[in-house]
């Protein structure tokens, strides 16, 4: 049985996944991390959890927060980030610019890629750096 919480995909499997596929998975990983962070650190009341989560998972917020980690990405992580940024999304939300949306997609692709590789410690390092001071 596959343990979907602790994956370790092979390079060939990862290369077969589209940039938008990685971003699709990474979006869920990132949102779960945000929701966990909000609950664990009491950043919102039960009533305001959804609103607080949306504030952090929206493309403009992701684009702002990703600036905290870009200088620390490895060469391989930078390549995945670039792949994600160059993906061609079908639509851009009204509340985000094209640049913000592309940057958010890049972050999500990176998080999806790290998750599939089983690099949970690295995910946590990057996420904590992003959330410092929030």
Q: Show which residues are catalytic.
A: 27
37 touches 119 (CB < 8 A) = no
> From CA 56, how far away is CA 10, in angstroms rounded?
31
> From CA 23, how far away is CA 112, in angstroms rounded?
6
DSSP type of residue 3? -
90 touches 130 (CB < 8 A) = no
> From CA 127, how far away is CA 121, in angstroms rounded?
10
């Amino acid at each position: 049985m596959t343990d979907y919480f602790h994956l370790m995909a092979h390079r060939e499997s990862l290369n077969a996944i589209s940039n938008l596929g990685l971003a699709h998975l990474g979006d869920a990983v990132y949102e779960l991390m945000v929701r966990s962070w909000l609950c664990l650190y009491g950043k919102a009341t039960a009533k305001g959890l959804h609103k607080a989560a949306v504030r952090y998972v929206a493309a403009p917020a992701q684009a702002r927060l990703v600036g905290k980690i870009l200088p620390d990405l490895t060469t391989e992580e930078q390549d995945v980030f670039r792949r994600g940024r160059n993906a061609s999304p079908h639509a851009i939300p009204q509340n985000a610019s094209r640049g913000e949306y592309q940057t958010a997609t890049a972050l999500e692709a990176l998080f999806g890629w790290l998750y599939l590789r089983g690099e949970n410690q690295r995910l946590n390092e990057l996420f904590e750096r992003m959330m410092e001071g929030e």
